[in-house]
Structure 1
Amino acid sequence: MDVSGLEAFIQIAECGSFRRAAEAMRLSQTALSHRIKKLEQDVGVTLFQRTTRSLVLTQAGQDFFPKARDALMRLNQLYEGLKREGRQARERVSVGCLGSVGERFLPGVLREFRQRYPRVNVVIYDEPAQALRDRVANGDVQFALTILGAQLWTQKSRALFEEDFVAAVPVGHPLAERSELSWADLVGHPLARVSTTTSHGFILSESLSKFGDKLDWAYEVQRVNMAVRFVVTGIAITVLPRMAIPLSDEIRVIPITAPLIKRTIGIIARNDGPLSAPAQHLQRMLLRAIAQEQEAAAAG
Protein backbone atom coordinates (compact mmCIF):
# COMPACT_ATOMS: atom_id res chain seq x y z
CA MET A 1 0.00 0.00 0.00
CA ASP A 2 1.30 3.42 -1.01
CA VAL A 3 0.90 5.27 2.31
CA SER A 4 2.83 8.35 1.14
CA GLY A 5 0.58 8.54 -1.91
CA LEU A 6 -2.54 8.29 0.25
CA GLU A 7 -1.27 11.07 2.51
CA ALA A 8 -0.63 13.28 -0.53
CA PHE A 9 -4.08 12.53 -2.01
CA ILE A 10 -5.89 13.35 1.25
CA GLN A 11 -3.87 16.53 1.82
CA ILE A 12 -4.56 17.82 -1.73
CA ALA A 13 -8.28 16.97 -1.46
CA GLU A 14 -8.55 18.81 1.86
CA CYS A 15 -6.50 21.83 0.74
CA GLY A 16 -8.02 22.04 -2.75
CA SER A 17 -4.64 23.01 -4.15
CA PHE A 18 -1.33 21.36 -5.00
CA ARG A 19 0.52 24.45 -3.80
CA ARG A 20 -1.15 24.62 -0.40
CA ALA A 21 -0.86 20.83 0.07
CA ALA A 22 2.85 20.94 -0.81
CA GLU A 23 3.40 23.70 1.75
CA ALA A 24 1.49 21.78 4.42
CA MET A 25 3.55 18.65 3.77
CA ARG A 26 6.80 20.60 3.32
CA LEU A 27 7.35 19.10 -0.12
CA SER A 28 7.98 20.61 -3.50
CA GLN A 29 5.02 20.65 -5.87
CA THR A 30 7.04 18.41 -8.19
CA ALA A 31 7.54 15.80 -5.47
CA LEU A 32 3.85 15.97 -4.57
CA SER A 33 2.84 15.56 -8.22
CA HIS A 34 5.07 12.47 -8.49
CA ARG A 35 3.34 10.92 -5.48
CA ILE A 36 -0.13 11.46 -6.96
CA LYS A 37 0.95 10.20 -10.38
CA LYS A 38 2.36 7.02 -8.81
CA LEU A 39 -0.81 6.50 -6.76
CA GLU A 40 -3.06 6.91 -9.81
CA GLN A 41 -0.89 4.45 -11.76
CA ASP A 42 -1.07 1.93 -8.90
CA VAL A 43 -4.87 2.06 -8.53
CA GLY A 44 -5.50 2.47 -12.27
CA VAL A 45 -7.90 5.43 -12.04
CA THR A 46 -7.62 9.21 -12.27
CA LEU A 47 -8.31 10.89 -8.92
CA PHE A 48 -8.02 14.58 -9.86
CA GLN A 49 -9.20 16.53 -12.85
CA ARG A 50 -6.55 19.23 -13.32
CA THR A 51 -6.52 22.34 -15.49
CA THR A 52 -4.36 25.45 -15.33
CA ARG A 53 -7.05 27.19 -13.24
CA SER A 54 -8.91 24.48 -11.35
CA LEU A 55 -8.49 21.25 -9.45
CA VAL A 56 -11.44 18.97 -8.74
CA LEU A 57 -11.88 15.40 -7.62
CA THR A 58 -13.09 12.97 -10.24
CA GLN A 59 -16.05 10.75 -9.37
CA ALA A 60 -13.59 7.98 -8.44
CA GLY A 61 -11.67 10.46 -6.28
CA GLN A 62 -14.86 11.63 -4.54
CA ASP A 63 -15.81 8.04 -3.74
CA PHE A 64 -12.29 7.19 -2.58
CA PHE A 65 -11.61 10.27 -0.44
CA PRO A 66 -13.70 9.52 2.72
CA LYS A 67 -12.64 5.87 2.73
CA ALA A 68 -8.96 6.74 2.31
CA ARG A 69 -9.16 9.38 5.05
CA ASP A 70 -10.78 6.93 7.49
CA ALA A 71 -8.30 4.18 6.63
CA LEU A 72 -5.30 6.48 7.13
CA MET A 73 -6.75 7.71 10.42
CA ARG A 74 -7.12 4.12 11.66
CA LEU A 75 -3.58 3.32 10.51
CA ASN A 76 -2.23 6.34 12.40
CA GLN A 77 -4.12 5.26 15.52
CA LEU A 78 -2.67 1.76 15.27
CA TYR A 79 0.81 3.17 14.77
CA GLU A 80 0.54 5.54 17.74
CA GLY A 81 -0.80 2.71 19.90
CA LEU A 82 2.16 0.55 18.93
CA LYS A 83 4.53 3.40 19.79
CA ARG A 84 2.91 3.75 23.22
CA GLU A 85 3.33 0.04 23.85
CA GLY A 86 6.96 0.32 22.84
CA ARG A 87 7.53 3.24 25.21
CA GLN A 88 5.81 1.39 28.05
CA ALA A 89 7.95 -1.68 27.40
CA ARG A 90 11.10 0.42 27.45
CA GLU A 91 10.01 2.18 30.62
CA ARG A 92 9.40 -1.00 32.63
CA VAL A 93 11.84 -3.62 33.85
CA SER A 94 10.56 -6.82 35.42
CA VAL A 95 12.95 -9.01 37.42
CA GLY A 96 12.63 -12.05 39.64
CA CYS A 97 14.54 -12.87 42.79
CA LEU A 98 14.47 -15.14 45.79
CA GLY A 99 13.16 -13.18 48.75
CA SER A 100 16.33 -13.50 50.81
CA VAL A 101 18.60 -12.50 47.91
CA GLY A 102 16.39 -9.57 46.95
CA GLU A 103 16.26 -8.25 50.51
CA ARG A 104 20.04 -8.37 50.64
CA PHE A 105 20.93 -6.67 47.36
CA LEU A 106 17.96 -4.91 45.77
CA PRO A 107 17.38 -1.87 48.05
CA GLY A 108 20.84 -0.37 47.58
CA VAL A 109 21.01 -1.24 43.90
CA LEU A 110 17.55 0.12 43.12
CA ARG A 111 18.33 3.40 44.84
CA GLU A 112 21.26 3.91 42.46
CA PHE A 113 19.31 2.58 39.47
CA ARG A 114 16.54 5.11 40.11
CA GLN A 115 19.03 7.94 39.78
CA ARG A 116 20.13 6.64 36.38
CA TYR A 117 16.62 5.74 35.10
CA PRO A 118 14.10 7.91 37.00
CA ARG A 119 11.29 7.15 34.52
CA VAL A 120 11.68 3.37 34.51
CA ASN A 121 9.31 1.35 36.70
CA VAL A 122 10.77 -1.83 38.21
CA VAL A 123 8.43 -4.78 38.84
CA ILE A 124 9.88 -7.35 41.24
CA TYR A 125 8.66 -10.93 41.64
CA ASP A 126 10.08 -12.27 44.92
CA GLU A 127 9.02 -15.89 44.61
CA PRO A 128 10.33 -19.45 45.02
CA ALA A 129 12.86 -20.83 42.55
CA GLN A 130 10.40 -22.90 40.50
CA ALA A 131 8.06 -19.96 40.05
CA LEU A 132 10.98 -17.80 38.93
CA ARG A 133 12.08 -20.36 36.33
CA ASP A 134 8.53 -20.37 34.98
CA ARG A 135 8.37 -16.57 34.86
CA VAL A 136 11.63 -16.41 32.91
CA ALA A 137 10.35 -19.07 30.52
CA ASN A 138 7.06 -17.22 29.99
CA GLY A 139 8.76 -13.85 29.53
CA ASP A 140 7.13 -12.35 32.64
CA VAL A 141 10.57 -11.30 33.91
CA GLN A 142 13.65 -10.34 31.94
CA PHE A 143 16.02 -12.12 34.32
CA ALA A 144 15.97 -13.69 37.77
CA LEU A 145 18.34 -14.20 40.70
CA THR A 146 17.57 -17.68 41.92
CA ILE A 147 18.84 -21.11 42.87
CA LEU A 148 20.50 -22.82 39.94
CA GLY A 149 19.35 -26.31 39.17
CA ALA A 150 17.78 -27.99 36.19
CA GLN A 151 17.26 -24.97 33.94
CA LEU A 152 15.08 -25.16 30.85
CA TRP A 153 16.86 -25.50 27.51
CA THR A 154 15.47 -22.07 26.54
CA GLN A 155 17.31 -20.44 29.45
CA LYS A 156 20.90 -19.38 30.01
CA SER A 157 22.41 -19.25 33.47
CA ARG A 158 25.46 -17.94 35.28
CA ALA A 159 26.56 -19.04 38.75
CA LEU A 160 27.34 -16.16 41.13
CA PHE A 161 28.06 -17.60 44.58
CA GLU A 162 27.42 -20.50 46.93
CA GLU A 163 25.60 -20.13 50.23
CA ASP A 164 25.75 -22.45 53.25
CA PHE A 165 22.74 -23.83 55.08
CA VAL A 166 23.10 -22.88 58.74
CA ALA A 167 21.19 -23.42 61.97
CA ALA A 168 19.09 -20.62 63.47
CA VAL A 169 19.02 -21.38 67.19
CA PRO A 170 16.98 -19.55 69.89
CA VAL A 171 19.00 -17.53 72.38
CA GLY A 172 19.23 -19.53 75.61
CA HIS A 173 19.00 -22.89 73.83
CA PRO A 174 21.57 -25.50 74.97
CA LEU A 175 23.23 -25.32 71.52
CA ALA A 176 23.18 -21.53 71.25
CA GLU A 177 26.78 -20.97 72.42
CA ARG A 178 28.33 -23.53 70.10
CA SER A 179 30.59 -22.10 67.36
CA GLU A 180 29.83 -25.01 65.03
CA LEU A 181 27.35 -27.87 64.84
CA SER A 182 27.14 -31.21 63.12
CA TRP A 183 23.85 -32.63 61.93
CA ALA A 184 24.16 -35.26 64.64
CA ASP A 185 24.11 -32.46 67.25
CA LEU A 186 20.59 -31.58 66.11
CA VAL A 187 19.17 -35.04 66.81
CA GLY A 188 16.64 -34.90 69.65
CA HIS A 189 15.87 -31.18 69.29
CA PRO A 190 12.57 -29.97 67.79
CA LEU A 191 13.21 -28.58 64.30
CA ALA A 192 11.09 -26.49 61.96
CA ARG A 193 11.63 -26.96 58.24
CA VAL A 194 10.31 -25.29 55.17
CA SER A 195 8.22 -27.71 53.10
CA THR A 196 10.10 -30.17 50.89
CA THR A 197 8.03 -28.87 47.97
CA THR A 198 10.11 -25.67 48.13
CA SER A 199 13.66 -25.41 46.83
CA HIS A 200 15.07 -25.05 50.37
CA GLY A 201 13.26 -28.10 51.65
CA PHE A 202 14.14 -30.16 48.58
CA ILE A 203 17.86 -29.39 48.84
CA LEU A 204 17.92 -30.42 52.50
CA SER A 205 15.91 -33.57 51.89
CA GLU A 206 18.15 -34.68 49.02
CA SER A 207 21.40 -33.79 50.80
CA LEU A 208 20.59 -35.46 54.10
CA SER A 209 19.13 -38.59 52.52
CA LYS A 210 18.23 -41.17 55.17
CA PHE A 211 19.93 -39.23 57.97
CA GLY A 212 17.10 -36.73 57.75
CA ASP A 213 14.78 -39.38 59.20
CA LYS A 214 16.75 -39.25 62.48
CA LEU A 215 15.97 -35.58 62.96
CA ASP A 216 12.85 -34.42 64.79
CA TRP A 217 11.10 -32.30 62.15
CA ALA A 218 8.42 -31.28 64.64
CA TYR A 219 7.06 -28.51 62.41
CA GLU A 220 6.75 -28.03 58.67
CA VAL A 221 5.87 -24.61 57.30
CA GLN A 222 5.48 -23.15 53.86
CA ARG A 223 7.42 -19.91 54.22
CA VAL A 224 10.79 -18.93 55.66
CA ASN A 225 9.31 -16.15 57.81
CA MET A 226 7.22 -18.64 59.76
CA ALA A 227 10.19 -20.91 60.43
CA VAL A 228 12.18 -17.93 61.71
CA ARG A 229 9.27 -16.94 63.93
CA PHE A 230 9.34 -20.38 65.55
CA VAL A 231 13.00 -19.76 66.41
CA VAL A 232 12.32 -16.32 67.88
CA THR A 233 9.57 -17.75 70.10
CA GLY A 234 11.92 -20.50 71.23
CA ILE A 235 9.89 -23.53 70.16
CA ALA A 236 12.25 -24.86 67.50
CA ILE A 237 15.55 -24.65 65.62
CA THR A 238 15.42 -24.14 61.88
CA VAL A 239 17.93 -24.73 59.11
CA LEU A 240 18.03 -22.21 56.28
CA PRO A 241 20.43 -20.57 53.83
CA ARG A 242 22.40 -17.91 55.66
CA MET A 243 20.86 -14.97 53.79
CA ALA A 244 17.35 -16.13 54.64
CA ILE A 245 17.89 -15.56 58.38
CA PRO A 246 17.33 -11.96 59.50
CA LEU A 247 19.63 -10.27 61.96
CA SER A 248 18.13 -10.58 65.44
CA ASP A 249 19.32 -10.48 69.04
CA GLU A 250 17.01 -13.44 69.66
CA ILE A 251 18.68 -15.75 67.16
CA ARG A 252 22.12 -17.35 67.03
CA VAL A 253 23.30 -18.35 63.55
CA ILE A 254 25.63 -21.36 63.72
CA PRO A 255 27.40 -23.16 60.83
CA ILE A 256 26.55 -26.84 60.29
CA THR A 257 29.17 -29.28 58.97
CA ALA A 258 29.37 -33.00 58.28
CA PRO A 259 27.92 -32.67 55.73
CA LEU A 260 28.23 -29.05 54.68
CA ILE A 261 25.14 -28.29 52.56
CA LYS A 262 25.12 -25.40 50.09
CA ARG A 263 22.94 -23.90 47.42
CA THR A 264 24.22 -22.16 44.28
CA ILE A 265 22.77 -18.75 43.52
CA GLY A 266 22.91 -17.51 39.96
CA ILE A 267 21.20 -15.45 37.34
CA ILE A 268 18.95 -16.90 34.64
CA ALA A 269 17.42 -15.35 31.53
CA ARG A 270 15.93 -16.45 28.24
CA ASN A 271 18.51 -17.20 25.57
CA ASP A 272 16.47 -15.93 22.62
CA GLY A 273 17.23 -12.23 22.72
CA PRO A 274 19.06 -9.35 24.40
CA LEU A 275 17.77 -7.50 27.45
CA SER A 276 16.53 -3.93 27.17
CA ALA A 277 19.09 -1.24 28.00
CA PRO A 278 17.62 -0.51 31.48
CA ALA A 279 17.44 -4.24 32.27
CA GLN A 280 21.06 -4.70 31.20
CA HIS A 281 22.10 -1.80 33.41
CA LEU A 282 20.17 -3.17 36.41
CA GLN A 283 21.68 -6.61 35.89
CA ARG A 284 25.21 -5.17 35.77
CA MET A 285 24.58 -3.24 38.96
CA LEU A 286 23.35 -6.35 40.77
CA LEU A 287 26.31 -8.38 39.58
CA ARG A 288 28.68 -5.67 40.76
CA ALA A 289 27.01 -5.47 44.19
CA ILE A 290 27.17 -9.24 44.61
CA ALA A 291 30.82 -9.36 43.50
CA GLN A 292 31.76 -6.60 45.93
CA GLU A 293 30.12 -8.43 48.83
CA GLN A 294 31.86 -11.69 47.89
CA GLU A 295 35.21 -9.89 47.73
CA ALA A 296 34.59 -8.26 51.12
CA ALA A 297 33.64 -11.63 52.62
CA ALA A 298 36.77 -13.25 51.25
CA ALA A 299 38.94 -10.41 52.58
CA GLY A 300 37.25 -10.65 55.96
Structure 2
Amino acid sequence: MNVSLRQLRVFRAIADGRNFSRAGDQVGLSQPAVSRSIHELESQLGLKLLDRTTREVVLTEAGQSLALRLARVLDELDQALAEVHGMAGARRGKVRVASSPTLSANLMPACIAECARREPEIEFVLLDRIQQDVLDSVRAGEVDFGVVVEPPDTDDLHGEPILDDPFCLVLPPGHRLAAQRTLRWSDLDGEALVLLDHASGSRRLIDEALARHGLRCEIRQQVGHPTTAFRMVEQGIGISVMPALAAPPTGLAVLVMRPLLPRVQRSIMLVHRRNRAPSPLAQRVWGLIRAVAGDMRSRTA
Protein backbone atom coordinates (compact mmCIF):
# COMPACT_ATOMS: atom_id res chain seq x y z
CA MET A 1 0.00 0.00 0.00
CA ASN A 2 1.46 3.34 -1.08
CA VAL A 3 -0.51 6.03 0.78
CA SER A 4 1.13 9.44 0.91
CA LEU A 5 1.07 11.98 3.71
CA ARG A 6 -0.35 14.57 1.30
CA GLN A 7 -3.29 12.30 0.49
CA LEU A 8 -4.04 11.90 4.19
CA ARG A 9 -3.82 15.65 4.85
CA VAL A 10 -6.13 16.35 1.92
CA PHE A 11 -8.65 13.80 3.20
CA ARG A 12 -8.53 15.27 6.71
CA ALA A 13 -9.11 18.78 5.35
CA ILE A 14 -12.17 17.56 3.42
CA ALA A 15 -13.45 15.56 6.40
CA ASP A 16 -13.18 18.68 8.59
CA GLY A 17 -14.73 21.16 6.16
CA ARG A 18 -16.82 18.92 3.85
CA ASN A 19 -15.76 21.07 0.89
CA PHE A 20 -13.16 20.37 -1.83
CA SER A 21 -12.41 24.02 -2.60
CA ARG A 22 -11.80 24.99 1.02
CA ALA A 23 -9.70 21.87 1.51
CA GLY A 24 -7.58 22.90 -1.47
CA ASP A 25 -7.05 26.36 0.01
CA GLN A 26 -6.09 24.79 3.35
CA VAL A 27 -3.46 22.42 1.92
CA GLY A 28 -2.32 24.64 -0.96
CA LEU A 29 -3.66 22.56 -3.87
CA SER A 30 -6.01 23.21 -6.74
CA GLN A 31 -9.42 21.57 -6.70
CA PRO A 32 -8.46 19.08 -9.46
CA ALA A 33 -5.37 18.13 -7.44
CA VAL A 34 -7.55 17.62 -4.36
CA SER A 35 -9.90 15.37 -6.33
CA ARG A 36 -6.95 13.42 -7.72
CA SER A 37 -5.47 12.91 -4.25
CA ILE A 38 -8.75 11.52 -2.92
CA HIS A 39 -9.13 9.23 -5.92
CA GLU A 40 -5.59 7.91 -5.43
CA LEU A 41 -6.19 7.37 -1.70
CA GLU A 42 -9.43 5.48 -2.32
CA SER A 43 -7.67 3.36 -4.95
CA GLN A 44 -4.87 2.46 -2.54
CA LEU A 45 -7.33 1.54 0.21
CA GLY A 46 -9.79 -0.21 -2.07
CA LEU A 47 -12.62 1.64 -0.35
CA LYS A 48 -14.81 4.64 -1.11
CA LEU A 49 -14.27 7.32 1.54
CA LEU A 50 -16.49 10.14 0.28
CA ASP A 51 -19.84 10.51 -1.43
CA ARG A 52 -19.80 13.80 -3.34
CA THR A 53 -22.72 15.58 -4.99
CA THR A 54 -23.04 19.09 -6.37
CA ARG A 55 -24.42 20.21 -3.00
CA GLU A 56 -22.53 18.30 -0.31
CA VAL A 57 -19.70 15.99 0.63
CA VAL A 58 -20.62 13.06 2.91
CA LEU A 59 -18.23 10.63 4.55
CA THR A 60 -18.92 6.94 4.00
CA GLU A 61 -18.70 4.54 6.94
CA ALA A 62 -15.07 3.81 6.00
CA GLY A 63 -14.40 7.54 5.69
CA GLN A 64 -15.83 8.22 9.14
CA SER A 65 -13.68 5.45 10.63
CA LEU A 66 -10.52 6.83 9.02
CA ALA A 67 -11.33 10.42 9.98
CA LEU A 68 -11.77 9.50 13.67
CA ARG A 69 -8.31 7.95 13.83
CA LEU A 70 -6.51 10.26 11.45
CA ALA A 71 -6.87 13.44 13.52
CA ARG A 72 -4.91 11.88 16.38
CA VAL A 73 -2.23 10.42 14.07
CA LEU A 74 -1.63 13.66 12.18
CA ASP A 75 -1.61 15.72 15.39
CA GLU A 76 1.09 13.42 16.77
CA LEU A 77 3.05 13.64 13.54
CA ASP A 78 2.86 17.44 13.48
CA GLN A 79 4.02 17.58 17.09
CA ALA A 80 6.88 15.17 16.39
CA LEU A 81 8.03 17.22 13.40
CA ALA A 82 7.80 20.41 15.45
CA GLU A 83 9.95 18.88 18.17
CA VAL A 84 12.53 17.56 15.70
CA HIS A 85 12.89 20.95 14.07
CA GLY A 86 12.80 22.83 17.34
CA MET A 87 9.68 24.74 16.41
CA ALA A 88 8.31 26.74 19.36
CA GLY A 89 10.86 24.97 21.57
CA ALA A 90 8.34 22.13 22.04
CA ARG A 91 6.51 24.46 24.41
CA ARG A 92 3.16 24.53 22.64
CA GLY A 93 0.68 21.73 21.94
CA LYS A 94 -2.10 19.50 23.14
CA VAL A 95 -1.85 16.79 25.80
CA ARG A 96 -4.68 14.26 26.18
CA VAL A 97 -5.15 12.67 29.60
CA ALA A 98 -7.82 10.10 30.51
CA SER A 99 -8.99 9.82 34.11
CA SER A 100 -11.57 7.80 36.03
CA PRO A 101 -14.58 9.74 37.41
CA THR A 102 -13.61 10.19 41.08
CA LEU A 103 -10.17 11.42 40.07
CA SER A 104 -11.63 13.60 37.32
CA ALA A 105 -13.83 15.31 39.90
CA ASN A 106 -11.47 15.64 42.85
CA LEU A 107 -7.89 15.63 41.54
CA MET A 108 -7.84 16.72 37.93
CA PRO A 109 -9.47 20.19 38.26
CA ALA A 110 -6.54 21.35 40.40
CA CYS A 111 -4.12 19.84 37.87
CA ILE A 112 -5.81 21.54 34.91
CA ALA A 113 -5.85 24.89 36.74
CA GLU A 114 -2.17 24.52 37.68
CA CYS A 115 -1.31 23.67 34.08
CA ALA A 116 -3.07 26.83 32.90
CA ARG A 117 -0.98 28.87 35.35
CA ARG A 118 2.39 27.21 34.79
CA GLU A 119 2.14 25.97 31.19
CA PRO A 120 -0.31 28.30 29.39
CA GLU A 121 0.87 27.14 25.96
CA ILE A 122 -0.16 23.55 26.68
CA GLU A 123 -3.77 22.62 25.97
CA PHE A 124 -4.73 20.08 28.65
CA VAL A 125 -7.57 17.90 27.32
CA LEU A 126 -9.24 15.64 29.92
CA LEU A 127 -11.23 12.55 28.95
CA ASP A 128 -13.48 11.54 31.87
CA ARG A 129 -14.06 7.79 31.57
CA ILE A 130 -14.62 4.70 33.67
CA GLN A 131 -11.40 2.96 34.68
CA GLN A 132 -11.44 0.18 32.06
CA ASP A 133 -12.04 2.72 29.29
CA VAL A 134 -9.13 4.79 30.58
CA LEU A 135 -6.85 1.75 30.38
CA ASP A 136 -8.16 0.87 26.92
CA SER A 137 -7.51 4.43 25.74
CA VAL A 138 -3.94 4.30 27.02
CA ARG A 139 -3.28 0.94 25.40
CA ALA A 140 -4.78 2.09 22.09
CA GLY A 141 -2.69 5.27 22.07
CA GLU A 142 -5.78 7.50 22.05
CA VAL A 143 -4.39 9.50 24.98
CA ASP A 144 -0.91 10.45 26.11
CA PHE A 145 -1.40 8.82 29.51
CA GLY A 146 -4.02 7.94 32.11
CA VAL A 147 -4.72 8.58 35.79
CA VAL A 148 -6.18 5.48 37.43
CA VAL A 149 -6.60 3.42 40.56
CA GLU A 150 -3.91 0.72 40.60
CA PRO A 151 -5.00 -1.80 37.92
CA PRO A 152 -4.63 -5.55 38.52
CA ASP A 153 -2.69 -6.18 35.30
CA THR A 154 0.02 -3.73 34.21
CA ASP A 155 2.46 -5.93 32.26
CA ASP A 156 2.03 -3.75 29.17
CA LEU A 157 1.96 -0.47 31.09
CA HIS A 158 4.45 1.69 32.92
CA GLY A 159 2.92 3.07 36.10
CA GLU A 160 4.05 5.60 38.68
CA PRO A 161 2.17 5.83 42.00
CA ILE A 162 1.52 9.45 42.96
CA LEU A 163 -0.96 9.32 45.84
CA ASP A 164 -2.28 6.87 48.46
CA ASP A 165 -6.01 7.28 49.12
CA PRO A 166 -7.42 5.46 52.20
CA PHE A 167 -10.91 4.00 52.35
CA CYS A 168 -13.38 5.48 54.84
CA LEU A 169 -16.93 4.84 55.99
CA VAL A 170 -19.63 7.31 54.94
CA LEU A 171 -22.77 7.36 57.08
CA PRO A 172 -25.52 9.64 58.43
CA PRO A 173 -24.67 11.51 61.65
CA GLY A 174 -27.44 9.66 63.50
CA HIS A 175 -26.10 6.20 62.67
CA ARG A 176 -25.00 4.06 65.61
CA LEU A 177 -21.37 4.11 64.37
CA ALA A 178 -21.16 7.84 63.71
CA ALA A 179 -20.25 8.76 67.29
CA GLN A 180 -16.90 6.97 66.99
CA ARG A 181 -14.01 8.98 65.55
CA THR A 182 -12.41 5.93 63.98
CA LEU A 183 -13.95 2.59 63.07
CA ARG A 184 -12.72 -0.91 62.38
CA TRP A 185 -13.70 -2.93 59.35
CA SER A 186 -15.25 -5.46 61.72
CA ASP A 187 -17.80 -2.79 62.75
CA LEU A 188 -19.38 -3.14 59.30
CA ASP A 189 -20.50 -6.74 59.89
CA GLY A 190 -24.23 -7.06 59.22
CA GLU A 191 -24.59 -3.55 57.80
CA ALA A 192 -26.40 -2.69 54.56
CA LEU A 193 -24.02 -1.11 52.05
CA VAL A 194 -24.23 1.14 49.02
CA LEU A 195 -21.07 0.60 46.98
CA LEU A 196 -19.48 1.73 43.73
CA ASP A 197 -20.06 -0.81 40.97
CA HIS A 198 -17.40 -3.02 39.42
CA ALA A 199 -16.58 -0.47 36.71
CA SER A 200 -14.80 1.47 39.44
CA GLY A 201 -11.17 0.70 40.10
CA SER A 202 -11.94 0.91 43.83
CA ARG A 203 -14.56 -1.85 43.98
CA ARG A 204 -12.08 -4.70 43.66
CA LEU A 205 -10.12 -3.36 46.63
CA ILE A 206 -13.28 -2.88 48.72
CA ASP A 207 -14.48 -6.42 47.98
CA GLU A 208 -11.06 -7.81 48.93
CA ALA A 209 -11.11 -5.93 52.25
CA LEU A 210 -14.62 -7.12 53.11
CA ALA A 211 -13.69 -10.72 52.29
CA ARG A 212 -10.40 -10.51 54.19
CA HIS A 213 -12.25 -9.50 57.35
CA GLY A 214 -14.96 -12.13 56.86
CA LEU A 215 -17.76 -9.55 56.83
CA ARG A 216 -21.37 -10.45 56.06
CA CYS A 217 -22.88 -7.31 54.54
CA GLU A 218 -25.97 -6.80 52.40
CA ILE A 219 -25.07 -4.83 49.28
CA ARG A 220 -28.31 -2.99 48.59
CA GLN A 221 -27.21 -0.81 45.67
CA GLN A 222 -24.22 -0.62 43.32
CA VAL A 223 -23.79 2.72 41.58
CA GLY A 224 -21.46 4.38 39.13
CA HIS A 225 -20.61 7.62 40.91
CA PRO A 226 -19.88 8.59 44.53
CA THR A 227 -22.44 11.41 44.48
CA THR A 228 -25.19 8.88 43.79
CA ALA A 229 -24.00 6.75 46.70
CA PHE A 230 -23.96 9.79 49.01
CA ARG A 231 -27.56 10.65 48.15
CA MET A 232 -28.60 7.06 48.88
CA VAL A 233 -26.83 7.13 52.23
CA GLU A 234 -28.71 10.35 53.05
CA GLN A 235 -31.98 8.50 52.37
CA GLY A 236 -31.07 5.67 54.73
CA ILE A 237 -30.67 2.99 52.06
CA GLY A 238 -27.32 1.94 53.51
CA ILE A 239 -23.88 3.17 54.51
CA SER A 240 -20.93 3.30 52.13
CA VAL A 241 -17.23 2.54 51.91
CA MET A 242 -15.54 5.23 49.85
CA PRO A 243 -12.01 6.46 49.15
CA ALA A 244 -11.28 9.66 51.05
CA LEU A 245 -10.70 11.48 47.76
CA ALA A 246 -14.34 10.87 46.79
CA ALA A 247 -15.48 13.51 49.29
CA PRO A 248 -15.84 16.93 47.63
CA PRO A 249 -13.52 19.71 48.87
CA THR A 250 -16.47 21.43 50.54
CA GLY A 251 -17.28 18.32 52.57
CA LEU A 252 -20.28 15.98 52.69
CA ALA A 253 -22.82 18.40 54.16
CA VAL A 254 -25.30 16.16 56.04
CA LEU A 255 -23.07 13.05 56.10
CA VAL A 256 -19.94 12.13 58.06
CA MET A 257 -16.83 10.28 56.92
CA ARG A 258 -14.85 8.15 59.37
CA PRO A 259 -11.44 6.45 58.88
CA LEU A 260 -11.44 2.66 58.75
CA LEU A 261 -8.80 0.58 60.57
CA PRO A 262 -6.71 -1.29 59.76
CA ARG A 263 -5.95 1.18 57.00
CA VAL A 264 -6.73 -0.03 53.48
CA GLN A 265 -5.86 2.33 50.67
CA ARG A 266 -5.90 2.55 46.94
CA SER A 267 -2.86 3.72 45.00
CA ILE A 268 -3.46 6.47 42.43
CA MET A 269 -1.17 5.98 39.46
CA LEU A 270 -0.11 7.65 36.24
CA VAL A 271 0.16 5.07 33.44
CA HIS A 272 1.41 5.02 29.87
CA ARG A 273 2.24 2.27 27.40
CA ARG A 274 5.43 0.52 28.42
CA ASN A 275 6.88 0.57 24.91
CA ARG A 276 6.02 4.20 24.19
CA ALA A 277 7.44 7.07 26.20
CA PRO A 278 5.20 10.17 26.47
CA SER A 279 6.13 13.19 24.37
CA PRO A 280 8.12 15.99 26.02
CA LEU A 281 4.89 17.99 26.40
CA ALA A 282 3.10 15.04 27.99
CA GLN A 283 6.04 14.46 30.31
CA ARG A 284 5.72 18.03 31.58
CA VAL A 285 2.01 17.50 32.32
CA TRP A 286 2.85 14.14 33.93
CA GLY A 287 5.30 15.91 36.26
CA LEU A 288 2.78 18.65 37.00
CA ILE A 289 0.09 16.13 38.07
CA ARG A 290 2.67 14.37 40.22
CA ALA A 291 3.50 17.68 41.92
CA VAL A 292 -0.16 18.56 42.56
CA ALA A 293 -0.73 15.11 44.06
CA GLY A 294 2.36 15.61 46.22
CA ASP A 295 0.93 18.89 47.55
CA MET A 296 -2.35 17.13 48.38
CA ARG A 297 -0.44 14.39 50.17
CA SER A 298 1.47 16.96 52.23
CA ARG A 299 -1.73 18.78 53.27
CA THR A 300 -3.41 15.57 54.44
CA ALA A 301 -0.35 14.04 56.17
Q: Which range, TM-score by smaller chain? A: 0.5 to 0.7
Deviation at 1:140, TM superposition (A): 1.3
Contact 2:115/2:124 (8 A) holds in 1: no
Aligned to 1:297: 300
Which region of structure 1 is more displaced relative to structure 2, 203-212 or 237-246?
203-212
Mapping of 1:41-56 within 5 angstroms? none
User: Structure 1 residues 275 and 210, CA, compared in 2 at 3 Å: closer, same or farther?
Assistant: closer
Aligned to 2:272: 269
User: Structure 1 residues 228 and 103, CA, compared in 2 at 3 Å: closer, same or farther?
Assistant: same
In the alignment, structure 1 segments of 5+ residues that lack a partner are: 1-68
Deviation at 1:280, TM superposition (A): 1.8
User: Structure 1 residues 256 and 116, CA, compared in 2 at 3 Å: closer, same or farther?
Assistant: closer
In the alignment, structure 2 segments of 5+ residues that lack a partner are: 1-31, 42-70, 81-91
Largest Rg, 1 or 2: 1
Amino acid at match of 2:256: R
Aligned to 1:91: 93
Contact 1:168/1:245 (8 A) holds in 2: no
Aligned to 1:177: 179
Contact 2:196/2:229 (8 A) holds in 1: yes
Please give the root-mean-square deviation of Cα atoms over the aligned residues, in Å. Answer: 3.1
Secondary structure of residue in 2 paired with 1:294 = helix
Matched-pair identity in %: 24
Contact 1:117/1:278 (8 A) holds in 2: no
Aligned to 1:285: 288
Which has a greater percent of helix?
1
Partner Cα distance (2:205, 2:115) in 1 = 33
Deviation at 1:286, TM superposition (A): 0.8
Aligned to 1:16: none
Contact 2:150/2:201 (8 A) holds in 1: no
Which region of structure 1 is more displaced relative to structure 2, 168-177 or 204-213?
204-213
Partner Cα distance (2:275, 2:120) in 1 = 28
**2:123 corresponds to 1:110:** no
Aligned to 1:214: 216
Deviation at 1:237, TM superposition (A): 0.7
Partner Cα distance (1:254, 1:70) in 2 = 68
Partner Cα distance (1:162, 1:83) in 2 = 37
Mapping of 1:1-300 within 5 angstroms? 86-87=77-78, 91-118=93-120, 120-196=122-198, 198-209=200-211, 211=213, 214-246=216-248, 247-257=251-261, 259-298=262-301
Contact 2:151/2:201 (8 A) holds in 1: no
TM-score after normalising by structure 1: 0.64
Partner Cα distance (1:84, 1:223) in 2 = 33
Secondary structure of residue in 1 paired with 2:107 = helix
Amino acid at match of 2:99: C
TM-score after normalising by structure 2: 0.64
